[in-house]
Amino acid sequence: MNIKTLIGLGVVALLVFFGVSKYNSLVQEQQQVNQTWAQVENQYQRRADLIPNLVNTVKGAADFEQQTLTDVIEARSKASSIQVSAEDLNNPQKVQQFQQAQQQLSGALSRLLVTVEKYPELKANQNFRDLQTQLEGTENRISTERQRFNEAVQSYNTMVQSFPSNVFAGLFGFDQKAYFKADEGASEVPEVDFGN
């Protein structure tokens, strides 16, 4: 073998090693995104699991507004029916559809908790207070997991877009992932009215 052949083989081996290293890094980043997404889904599932207990406890208040309970049950059903797999994270519309269903459930739960204020016997119920505390804790966990997911997506998307990783990402089909976005109207300042 001559020196040119050895140099050529060395360059090819170096490129193969570099390519394998970049591919493995992309896989690792993608798995991190998938794992953090699973945690987001886990917290949403925890919330969905708490809702039937909350609704049953509230039903104990005989004159409680039935429409409010129906809205919560329907929103939970819709939110539970929309599933986003790790492969769907490349599709911003699918993620947005999931997020909108979760926002509707959050809104229905908020209306339920506001309506409960009219029922002192329900607010004094220990089971209701425990469920309300668990629900508030779950909402905080959801927020934390969504933040972690967005951090993982940022790291992954940065790698997918950065040179030379973008070359390997394009070759092996690593597409950008969609972020969780702020709820619509989240940047608006809420109106406070003490007139009533």
Please tell me the predicted confidence (pLDDT) of residue 145: 93
Q: At 193, is the pLDDT very low, low, confident or very high (cuts 50, 70, 90)?
A: very low
| Burial of 88: CB neighbours in 10 Å, binned 0-12, 13-18, 19+ | middle
Q: State how far Cα 86 lies from the chain centre.
A: 11
- Domains of the chain in start order, with CATH, are 20-172 (1.20.1440.20)
Is the backbone of residue 185 left (phi > 0), alpha (psi -120 to 50) or beta?
left
Per the CB < 8 A criterion, the answer to whether 156 and 85 are in contact is no
- What contacts 86, CB < 8 A, 6 or more positions away? 33, 34, 37, 38
Q: What is the mean pLDDT of residues 96-109?
A: 88
pLDDT tens, 108-129? 888 888 877 777 777 667 777 7
Supply the pLDDT for residue 177: 92
Rounded CA gap, 76 and 49, in Å? 9
Q: Which residue has the tokens 């309506």?
A: 115
